[in-house]
Structure 1
């Protein structure tokens, strides 16, 4: 079984092992899958000038004609050297097409399979992981250390440094998709061109969208007990086009996260310790409000808040014409509960 550990993944895709010519890249981070596939393809094609050495195949087309993959993999390059085949796995299984390549590995050919999230012990993932001639590399959303490295790579290439608070804010905006994250950092570097370092103001101006900050303000102030600020922030969001349903969905996600953190606090971990160790880090401007919320709420109260917000979201969907008042009432209820808890 050859399943590459997360820490070894980047090295593995940049170094082609002739004994393991079938590489499966899979996971929920489609951007990271694509980036690593491109890196592996470049490594496989190093030194060749053959314009036909790279072949791209659609997974569903391969599923419809399984022998086609083997025909391509066993074809000798016209001008010599290694060939690379990239297969974008679709909705149909291609295990039947891949199996012969693992039994009789092709020479001078690398087959790169790009897939979505695959369950352990099933189908294509199990087939490649169990073969001595395959590599299976999981691609999950970047953690704090990965994002730090990505930021350093891109800003170093642009001859830029970054302030600590700007880095924290940037980290809070990245992480779901590797290519999207890299694109945001490159956009930031272009914006800061001509300066020697990136500051908070630069990140606020160019990364993410303003509505995300507005959502945080409305929700965080509600959980902290500031009804007036929460109400004003919500009204500004509605005026800008944010739907009440989106605001309620974000409030539910925040309540779930607060519930997890509060469980840790009730287990004996300090509030500041919990927040300081969160990855990606919480934006420094949010920290005081979240700290207030965690000090005001209990885990039981937050569990109830998740249920109440879920009911409000359902009501807002059923009664679209009343969605805004329903959302505002929910934020008021959160703020009222937080204020009451602080008085005890």
Structure 2
């Protein structure tokens, strides 16, 4: 079964069909895949992180033991009742794809533990993928493709996320903010959360375009963009010099942190697209990298990985928040963040 229309997907995520034992959620936008995976996992078991009811596997587990997935699907819950087996595929290797497909077919046919639910989250599975074919054809299984959000989807995400924090945007401000957001949902959600912090959670503010101007600002000056690139390239002295130059040009610490966050977002989007099958050069272009900076950007993209970038993201958010505290040494905060990033880059060989 294929679920490709939004109403059908949302209905299924709210109330999964009783006859479905296995679901494959896949697509280029890993943020959407993860969101839908989390939503479905929460409907299958009370606590998706409970080690007694949930088994979490990756490509590496299948490479190490080809029978591990079927073994987990055959096992009974230690606490009794429903069991969730959650597999995350992040590589495009054929081995794990084939192993997962074979296990899905057996499980969907009822050959393993009928109380187990198989949830697989993957990148962009093409039409030749054995796993994708199996999920589309097998009774008792479903395939959910995920595409990049349309502007209307992004606007809804912004409204719903801000509403949970008791703030909002008027129609003009919403259109302005959505137009500036990156397409990849994971990066976009970070920017929305940053906006909620800026507006003040629980304040009831309904912001206008004028309210957003200090937050969005303009594209960072060349010195800030260069400083961010130097930091991610492991060139600390150059990054610090760029930040000092930007300060002399009137760019404060929050603008420097924002430039670093934007650069991290470009790297993250490029690596996400590359993991989904695009070439790094195509991914760089799609991430808005100017051709003159492409060579250096590609050099960095070959060394950084999504796990490292995800570990950096909270530090960027913390620096952004700290810069906006009254009396905070914002320039020092930005320089310390650049030092952290450059040090990580150097350890990775950049």
For normalisation by structure 2, the TM-score amounts to 0.57
Cα distance in structure 1, aligned partners of 2:119 and 2:3: 15
CA 1:200–1:73 in structure 2 vs 1: closer, same or farther (change >3 Å)?
Answer: same
Q: Which residue of 2 aligns with 1:14?
A: 14
Cα distance in structure 1, aligned partners of 2:295 and 2:67: 49
Alignment of 1:250-265 (within 5 A): none
**Unaligned stretches of 5+ residues in structure 2:** 230-289, 297-350
Cα distance in structure 1, aligned partners of 2:141 and 2:199: 43
Cα pair 1:20 1:134 within 8 Å, conserved = yes
Cα distance in structure 2, aligned partners of 1:11 and 1:175: 27
Q: Which residue of 2 aligns with 1:150?
A: 157
Query: 1:255-311: per-residue Cα shift (whole Å, max 9, x none)?
Result: xxxxxxxxxxxxxxxxxxxxxxxxxxxxxxxxxxxxxxxxxxxxxxxxxxxxxxxxx
Secondary structure of residue in 2 paired with 1:112: strand
Secondary structure of residue in 2 paired with 1:66: coil
Cα pair 2:31 2:185 within 8 Å, conserved = yes
**How large is the Cα RMSD of the aligned pairs?**
3.3
User: How many residues were matched structurally?
Assistant: 228
CA 1:240–1:189 in structure 2 vs 1: closer, same or farther (change >3 Å)?
Answer: closer
Cα distance in structure 2, aligned partners of 1:63 and 1:19: 30
Cα pair 2:27 2:122 within 8 Å, conserved = yes
CA 1:195–1:18 in structure 2 vs 1: closer, same or farther (change >3 Å)?
Answer: closer
Choose from 141, 145, 152 the match for 2:148. Answer: 141
Query: 1:94-116: per-residue Cα shift (whole Å, max 9, x none)?
Result: 22243233233341211111111
Q: Which residue of 2 aligns with 1:88?
A: 88
Pairing 1:186–2:186 present: no
Secondary structure of residue in 2 paired with 1:214: coil
Q: Name the larger-Rg structure.
A: 1
Cα distance in structure 2, aligned partners of 1:7 and 1:127: 23
Cα distance in structure 2, aligned partners of 1:157 and 1:48: 22
Alignment of 1:141-290 (within 5 A): 141-193=148-200, 194-206=203-215, 213-214=218-219, 237-242=221-226
Alignment of 1:6-85 (within 5 A): 6-46=6-46, 51-85=51-85
Cα pair 2:168 2:204 within 8 Å, conserved = no
CA 1:2–1:49 in structure 2 vs 1: closer, same or farther (change >3 Å)?
Answer: closer
CA 1:54–1:314 in structure 2 vs 1: closer, same or farther (change >3 Å)?
Answer: same
Cα distance in structure 2, aligned partners of 1:83 and 1:76: 7
Secondary structure of residue in 2 paired with 1:57: strand
Residue 50 of structure 1 deviates from its aligned partner by 5.9
Query: 1:57-100: per-residue Cα shift (whole Å, max 9, x none)?
Result: 11232144222111111111111121111111132332224323
**Unaligned stretches of 5+ residues in structure 1:** 216-236, 246-311, 319-344
CA 1:44–1:114 in structure 2 vs 1: closer, same or farther (change >3 Å)?
Answer: same
Residue 145 of structure 1 deviates from its aligned partner by 1.6
Residue 30 of structure 1 deviates from its aligned partner by 0.9
Residue 25 of structure 1 deviates from its aligned partner by 1.0
For normalisation by structure 1, the TM-score amounts to 0.58
Secondary structure of residue in 2 paired with 1:23: strand
